[in-house]
Amino acid sequence: MHLSELDKKAIEISSKYRGKIQILPKVPIKSLDDFSVLYTPGVAAVSKEIAKNKDLSFQYTYRWNSIAIVTDGTRVLGLGDIGPEAAMPVMEGKALLFKYLGGVDAVPLTVGTKDPDKIVEVVTILQPAFGGINLEDIESPKCFYILEKLREKLEIPVWHDDQQGTAGATLAGLIIALELTGRETKNTKVILYGAGAANIATARLLYKYGIPYENMIVIDSRGPLYKGREDEDEMKLENPWKYELLEKTNKDGVTKLEDAFKGADVLIAASRPDPGVIKPEWIRLMSKDSIVFALANPTPEIWPEEAKKAGAKIVATGRSDLPNQVNNSLIFPAVFRGALDVRAKTITDEMVIEASRELASFARQRGTNENYIIPKMTEWEVYPKVAAAVGMKAMQQGVARFKLSYEELYESARTMIEHARKLLASLT
């Protein structure tokens, strides 16, 4: 197997450091005498207080700022089902992003089971140890089931980044793209190409933002979803989340792929990495100054230049080397920062929409154009703003245990993120 220079460097770094993360104490220790306070006998007083009120564990322990990154390794990056051990390097990288961009302490937990009920059981049992749960790289439709069950059972935020993170980043970019092309949400026609975790969650978030389900058409490997499709009953049993979209979208009952593109304003593709997946002739069928989000990684479903030649006005991808990178890393660190700072019990769709709005607002203030519809990851100043907005929304919705002002939320988030960035930059 041929290894690129980047591949070789990644293996070299992993071998040198033998992993990317470690646990580092935050309390100074000058001598063994300090343990009389930090451990026994002094620690008993702290434990007794928490025993009276378990929510004090968010005040007296690191739980308030810690989350678990949970995966079974069944859908890792572009690698697919590679197993929990092989997923660990990816989860460590995710933990670094949480720390660097959000100041969040994230612990990778790669579980040795593919059984969704066992995964739910494991995470439920671990709830007292964490302030939140980030589900990662779990195959669809199992990921929907696990997320729903855990959100029902747990009193801490449970999040699936492949769903909610991608959906939030997509909405942020779309808010500005619609503004630049003079479109209103209620009249916008959207094609969702790909019916996996990302686009199913995106459809729900777009609906809550104001785009009617009836204005959407979802396309999977067999074509558009429509009532009466031959696999409808099978879908209802095996993937009820996808079936729900079959029921609610595609008001005209379009059955042919090309017909779905006719007059559409927006294309959001989250399918497979291949620049030939979306045909230029399909883009030509869309309305004037159309919007194309081709989000597959590492290569988009159509290259931006090709889409623009076919009539697209604004094009976004998932790549950092192209304009308008729609990246869930703009969403998850700040959303968790805000949720953890107010000790939230859950992360609602409205909190995600607030994060999207704040990202759009930041881009708007910087000066948006066809090649800048969403902040770049290097613009780290946006993260504390998003965190504060999310924390405020959690308090408004009554899902926060802790109340702070906007200024307190912003300053706390800014300080923690800045400290984390300096800490990581100082490592050798």
**Which residues form the catalytic set?**
39, 94
Comparing CA positions, the residue from 41, 61, 75, 1 lying closest to residue 297 is 75
Beta-bridge partner residues of 46: none
257 three-class SS: helix
CB 316 within 8 A of CB 324: yes
417 three-class SS: helix
User: DSSP string of 326-367?
Assistant: --GGGTHHHHHHHHHHTTBS---HHHHHHHHHHHHHHHHHH-
- Integer Cα distance of 67 and 159 in angstroms: 10
- Integer Cα distance of 272 and 62 in angstroms: 39
CB 138 within 8 A of CB 76: no
- Integer Cα distance of 304 and 100 in angstroms: 30
Q: Which amino acid is at 58?
A: F
Tokens of 281: 């002739």
What's the DSSP call for residue 160? E
> How big is the chain by its Cα radius of gyration, in Å?
22
- Integer Cα distance of 181 and 171 in angstroms: 15
